[in-house]
Structure 1
Amino acid sequence: MKQIRDFAAGRIRAESRDGVGLLVIDNPERKNAVTAAMWRAIPDAVHWLCGEAGARAIVLSGAGERDFSAGADISEFPIVRKDTATARLYEADNSAAFTAVREARVPVIAAIRGICYGGGFGLAAACDLRIADDTAAFAVPAARLGLAYPADAVQDFARSLGDQMARKVLYTGAAMRAAELLARGFLLDVTAPDTLDDRVMLLAETIATNAPLSVQASKLALRAVAEVDDDLLREAEVVGASTFDSADYAEGRRAFAEKRRPAFTGE
Structure 2
Amino acid sequence: MDVNISFADGSIGAAADGSAIGRLTINRPDKRNALTDAMWRAVPEAIDWLVNRQNARVVIMEGAGGRDFSAGADIGEFATLRKNAETARAYEAGNSAAFAAIRHCPVPVIAAIRGICFGGGFGLAAAADIRIADETARFAIPAARLGLAYPLDAVQDLVRALGDQHARIALFSGQEIPLAQAVACGCVAGSCRPDQLESEVQALAAAIAAAAPLSVQASKAALSALNSGLHDDYDRAATLSASTFDSADYAEGRSAFMEKRKARFEGR
Aligned length: 267
* Secondary structure of the structure 1 residue equivalent to 2:55: coil
Q: Distance in 1 between matches of 2:53 and 2:266?
A: 15
Query: Percent sequence identity over matched residues?
Result: 57
Task: Give 1:255 deviation, angstroms.
Answer: 1.0
Q: 2:13 maps to which residue?
A: 13
Q: Is the CA contact (8 Å cut-off) linking 1:26 and 1:32 kept in structure 2?
A: yes
Q: Distance in 2 between matches of 1:69 and 1:83?
A: 24
Q: Distance in 1 between matches of 2:78 and 2:114?
A: 25
1:25 aligns with 2:26: yes
Q: Distance in 2 between matches of 1:173 and 1:89?
A: 24
Q: Is the CA contact (8 Å cut-off) linking 1:134 and 1:179 kept in structure 2?
A: no
Q: 2:184 maps to which residue?
A: 183
1:119 aligns with 2:120: yes
Task: Give 1:177 deviation, angstroms.
Answer: 2.1
Q: 2:171 maps to which residue?
A: 170
Q: 1:83 maps to which residue?
A: 84
**Backbone CA RMSD of aligned residues:** 0.7
Q: 2:241 maps to which residue?
A: 240
Deviating 4+ runs (over 6 angstroms): none
Q: Distance in 2 between matches of 1:80 and 1:260?
A: 56
Task: Give 1:202 deviation, angstroms.
Answer: 0.5
Q: 1:228 maps to which residue?
A: 229
Task: Give 1:2 deviation, angstroms.
Answer: 2.5
Q: 2:197 maps to which residue?
A: 196
Q: Distance in 2 between matches of 1:79 and 1:188?
A: 38
* Secondary structure of the structure 1 residue equivalent to 2:144: helix
- TM-score (norm. length: structure 2): 0.98
* Secondary structure of the structure 1 residue equivalent to 2:53: coil
- TM-score (norm. length: structure 1): 0.99
List runs of 5+ in structure 2 lacking aligned partners: none
* Secondary structure of the structure 2 residue equivalent to 1:106: coil
Q: Distance in 2 between matches of 1:244 and 1:16?
A: 29
Q: Distance in 2 between matches of 1:65 and 1:244?
A: 42
Q: 2:49 maps to which residue?
A: 48
Q: Distance in 1 between matches of 2:100 and 2:122?
A: 14
* Secondary structure of the structure 1 residue equivalent to 2:133: strand
